[in-house]
Amino acid sequence: MNTPRPITVVDLGRRDYHETLELQRRLCREKVEGLRQEDLLLIVEHPPVVTLGRGTEPTSLPIPPEVLRDRGMDVIDVERGGDVTLHAPGQMVGYPIFDLNRFRLDLHWYLRQLEQVLIGALGTVGIKGSRQEGLTGVWVANRKIASIGVHVKRWVTLHGFALNVRTDLAMFGLIVPCGIPDVQMTSIVWERPSTEGTDLWQSTYRAVVDSMGSVFEHKIVRAPESCLAPIPRA
């Protein structure tokens, strides 16, 4: 029996959203074209940015994009599913670049798997996460702690999840998160204030990575960013 290739995790630190988006797109192309074999999980933290998914409604962005840009906030249209999302410092963003041919050709299954990864990680840090019927993402009671939006190209995934670790929750007042009126956003620090003095980012990082390996039933290997260098066509 063949042993499945591991999932390679690369920590990008804090990185501009545009730069990371183009990196995702290139890695996806390389996998679609058969140049890159490994499945990847990129972990990153972004400066403040608002992204508009394919399902974004005009009512989800009460402040016009040009006003947000004047305030120094990027507003970017992207190909992922879902509505408007905000990324900001203190939020852990994960971008799996997976070939679902190696897992299961079912986008709904994949979304539920990502939710389970985050529910498992939250459990490790002492928070009970859950799903909400009919909605994508992860919640703590009626408060949303993680958003998920993905895109698939020939069954290779890009985009992913955003988990609020110690995000400034007031920033979500600039948008209607995920297009859900009156949604209350939360974070790990908000739910467990006692964690603020700990190395919360690293403990959450380890919990997410370990949960990813457990839920997808693949070994995890950590690798430096150099492994993402472009692969030339033959």
Residue type, position 77, single letter: D
CA distance 94 to 85: 14
Tens of pLDDT along 42-57?
999 999 999 999 999 9
CA distance 130 to 110: 16
Tens of pLDDT along 192-233?
988 776 799 999 999 999 999 999 999 999 999 999 999 998
pLDDT at 189: 96
Q: Alpha helices, DSSP H only, in the chain?
A: 17-32, 65-70, 107-124, 188-191, 200-216
- Beta strand spans in the chain (E): 7-14, 39-45, 49-52, 74-77, 84-87, 91-97, 138-140, 143-153, 156-164, 184-185, 220-222
pLDDT at 193: 85
Q: Is the pTM of this model over 0.85?
A: yes
Select which of 73, 178, 188, 200 is catalytic.
Answer: 178
pLDDT at 11: 98
CA-wise closest residue to 151 among 34, 33, 51: 51
- In the annotation, is 178 catalytic? yes
pLDDT tens for the chain, 234 residues long, are 345 789 999 999 999 999 999 999 999 999 999 999 999 999 999 999 999 999 999 899 999 999 999 888 999 999 999 999 999 999 999 999 999 999 999 999 999 999 999 999 999 999 999 999 999 999 999 999 999 999 999 999 999 999 999 999 999 999 999 899 889 999 999 999 887 767 999 999 999 999 999 999 999 999 999 999 999 987
Q: Is the alpha carbon torsion for 120, 121, 124, 127 positive or negative?
A: negative
**Residue 10 CB coordination number (10 Å):** 20
**Domains detected in the chain:** 7-225 (3.30.930.10)
CA distance 174 to 165: 19
